[in-house]
Amino acid sequence: MAIVTVPATARRITGLDDVKTFLAGFGIDHEIWPLEDRVDPAAPAEAILAAYAPEIEVLKHKGGFVTADVIDVRPETPNLDTMLAKFSKEHTHSEDEVRFILQGRGVFHVHAPAADGTDTVFAIEVGAGDLISVPVDTRHWFDLCDDRRIRAIRLFQDMSGWTPHYVEEGVHGAYEPLCLGPAWVSGSRGGAT
């Protein structure tokens, strides 16, 4: 379950409805998809894509996506630091960034104008079962949590795959990736704060 943190105000948002409402204010879709009762999240990529074919088809139709894959990142992934360095600098994409998390955890930081026009940075910690869609041209960056593990379905409009457009003088350096972990979410501290 996703957790949102707004560093500037020390605000933390948990609970499906509150997270969904907050993110919708920035045009970000968040859904919870079924996990273990659909397929073993460790199953081969082909089995994962087949198991979620109905949901993927809906997203393709809605967002103009043409292809989906499964990204698998582990601590032992070759050149992991180089790969993570590409994700962790503030950037945009010319299509929505859609990810469904199968295993592991990570943090998207989003840098976007709030409804009142003020510049806002907030973090969305995502874990298994979270689907997130960051809109086209939205400034963001991504870090793994300490276990450096993530497995996720990705959708693309462009067959060439993941293409970042880096933001000059990005603000990513001012924010630490904050991971609270699944225990925090499943504990008794739920609810908007």
Q: How many residues does the chain have?
A: 193
Task: Decide: 139 and 91 in contact? Cβ < 8 Å.
Answer: yes
Considering the complex, state which of residue 14 and residue 101 has its C-beta at the smaller distance from Fe ion: 101
The residue number with the shortest CB distance to Fe ion is 97
Q: How far from chain centre, in Å, is Cα 93?
A: 14
Q: Minimum distance between the CB of residue 142 and Fe ion, rounded to whole angstroms?
A: 6
Query: What is the spatial distance between Cα 8 and Cα 173, in angstroms, rounded to a whole number?
Result: 15
Q: How far from chain centre, in Å, is Cα 164?
A: 15
Binding pattern for the stretch 87-126 against Fe ion, x by CB under 5 A and - elsewhere? ----------x-----------------------------
CA distances 178 to 6, 79, 105, 162, 183, Å, are 11, 23, 11, 24, 14
Q: Minimum distance between the CB of residue 63 and Fe ion, rounded to whole angstroms?
A: 15
136, β-bridge pairs = none
Q: Minimum distance between the CB of residue 38 and Fe ion, rounded to whole angstroms?
A: 26
Looking at residues 48 to 87 of the shown chain, list those that interact with Fe ion (rule: CB under 5 A): none
Considering the complex, state which of residue 97 and residue 143 has its C-beta at the smaller distance from Fe ion: 97
Q: Minimum distance between the CB of residue 181 and Fe ion, rounded to whole angstroms?
A: 23
The footprint of Fe ion (CB under 5 A) covers 97
